[in-house]
Structure 1
Amino acid sequence: MQKSNFKELLAGQSPLLLPVAHDALSARLIERAGFSAAAIGGFGLVGCRLGLPDLGLASFGEVSCAVRDISSAARLPLIVDADEGYGDVKNVVRTVRTYEQMGLCAIVLEDQVSPKKCGHMAIERRVVPVIEAEQKLRAALDARVDERFAIIARTDARSIEGLESAIERGQRYVACGADALFIEAPTSIEELRKIGSSFQVPLVVNAAEGGRTPVLTPLEYSELGFSIVLYPATLLLRMVASLTNALAALREGRFDDQGRLPDFSMLTDIMGTNTWMEIDQRFGSN
């Protein structure tokens, strides 16, 4: 059973704000904060779970296990980064079937050459021929059982072939039937405006702090034509900063002053202790 569907989410909030969860705990915190949905990104997931960079080093099995953990821990609708589908069209079909069966809301399928690389890193990336990307996209659309499970097409061509090529690819992906489009890493407000005026489908933008794309307010993105705003590094950056400062203080024999911290009961509540203890009390042998 799906927790929600893509069109309902878009109808409920404009633009749809999607903090990116990197593990089950961050997904629960996003839920407790009142967001209507969340995303799972490969950068944070692979970094937190395996301590690896987002360079296509993790297998589909490793990533899908982590996605299952996160999905099981939160009731939020989830939009998941599916990289380039983890192989050819056969792998794409398996990826779609696996994630749809998990009850996810949507996946993002990109057109990078495998192994893919993070779209905001200052490293060389390559995209597959557009015909190959279309074949993968058609396979993904055909593989889903329920059309409410959305396939979002992403192109990384902006950083490789230029903006015009990225828009042309996007138009071809929309013609294939993509439910939404994600042109990664535009570098200016002017480029964002051109993308927004070129399409009628829902558009995704990455509000990556320190990345290539201007970070704007949700209203500004909406006015430029974007329906979905991803925050891929917001939680991760702050977690790393907080832990780094706390550990530096501990090395000096003191606690880092970060203002009022959550008490231990809040931590146990986030992790569902009361729910599990209720099960123990009802059915366990006391």
Structure 2
Amino acid sequence: MARTIFRDKLASGKFFVVPGIQDMIAAVVANKVGFDLVYGTGYWLTASAWGLPDAGIVTYTEMKNRMETLVKTSNAAVIADGDTGYGGLLNVHHTVKGYEAAGVTAIQLEDQEFPKKCGHTPYRRLIPVEEMVEKIKVAADAREDKENFLIIARTDARQSEGFDGAMRRIEAYEKAGADVLFPEALESEEEMAKACSLFGKPMMANMSNGGSSPVPLASVLKEIGYAYAIYPSLTSLAAAKAMETALLDLKEKGIGQPDGLFSFSEFCSLIGFEDVWAFERKWGKDAE
């Protein structure tokens, strides 16, 4: 069931940030920090689970299962990356139904050909705008909760059709019934501000570290006019760097207990071991 928090936050008009979640370790750490919305990122959930690139290789069923696990693990509502809807109109209908049943609060759909590519990598190919308009209409019709389950429409047209071409697509997607608009990989803060000024519906920013777009401070994004920003790669790249540093120290210096480790006892608590221990106290062989 979709949660109301996403629509409520958009309606408030107050800018907010949403971290990307690549695995369930990141999910429980985000629980600790305290977020009411998280982003189920296709790129990083794919990389963490299967060690594969975000290139349309992972199936709908595999990704739906990952989103369902994230919903169960996270205290926050989940905005889910739905790629292209995994095919044509019937696939979009099935994907929206499945994601909503999995418990996510919003689905993001993009106008690339299937199989898709990451929005900050080359060789992306787009479907005609008319096809994407139909996908948005199908997605909006397929959802059970018309009020709270939101449709995010993304265009990857900036690099192939230019800024104006991307804006024409976004205008068509807005008219088709998208709740949130997402022009991917804009190339400057000036483009971002112009895009936000053109439309009445909420605009989403993708702050992909190392990608095509600049990553200004959240306060700047707020002034530009975005409703919110996702940070899909932040926890993944931070974790990868920390792991590389620790492994190099182990290999080269024999350091197996470096400074700065997350507390093992606290992580046991975050991941649910206290419930396991309570069960053992009640039902274990040594229980009195």
State whether structure 2 residue 192 is matched by structure 1 residue 195: no
TM-score, scaled relative to structure 1: 0.95
Contact 2:68 2:104 in 1 (8 A): no
Change over 3 Å in CA distance of 1:256–1:222 after alignment to 2:
farther
- SS at 1:19 equivalent: strand
Deviation at 1:142, TM superposition (A): 0.2
**Separation in 1 of the partners of 2:108 and 2:20?**
13
Deviation at 1:275, TM superposition (A): 2.3
Match of 1:156 in 2: 156
Deviation at 1:11, TM superposition (A): 4.1
Match of 1:102 in 2: 102
What is the 5 A alignment of 1:11-160? 11=11, 14-121=14-121, 123-147=122-146, 148-160=148-160
Deviation at 1:214, TM superposition (A): 1.1
Deviations 1:235-256, CA, capped at 9 Å, x for gaps: 1111111111111111124227
Contact 1:3 1:76 in 2 (8 A): no
Supply the AA of the counterpart residue of 1:85: G
Match of 1:223 in 2: 223
Supply the AA of the counterpart residue of 2:89: V
- SS at 2:108 equivalent: strand
Match of 2:235 in 1: 235
**Separation in 2 of the partners of 1:97 and 1:61?**
12
Deviation at 1:14, TM superposition (A): 2.4
More off after superposition, 249-258 vs 138-147: 249-258
- The share of aligned pairs that are identical, in percent, is 35
Contact 1:154 1:183 in 2 (8 A): yes
Q: How many residues align?
A: 285
Deviations 1:58-105, CA, capped at 9 Å, x for gaps: 111111111111111112101010000001111111111111112211
- SS at 1:79 equivalent: strand
Match of 2:268 in 1: 268
Deviation at 1:282, TM superposition (A): 4.5
Change over 3 Å in CA distance of 1:283–1:200 after alignment to 2:
farther
Supply the AA of the counterpart residue of 1:145: E
- SS at 2:174 equivalent: helix
Supply the AA of the counterpart residue of 1:235: T
More off after superposition, 137-146 vs 57-66: 57-66
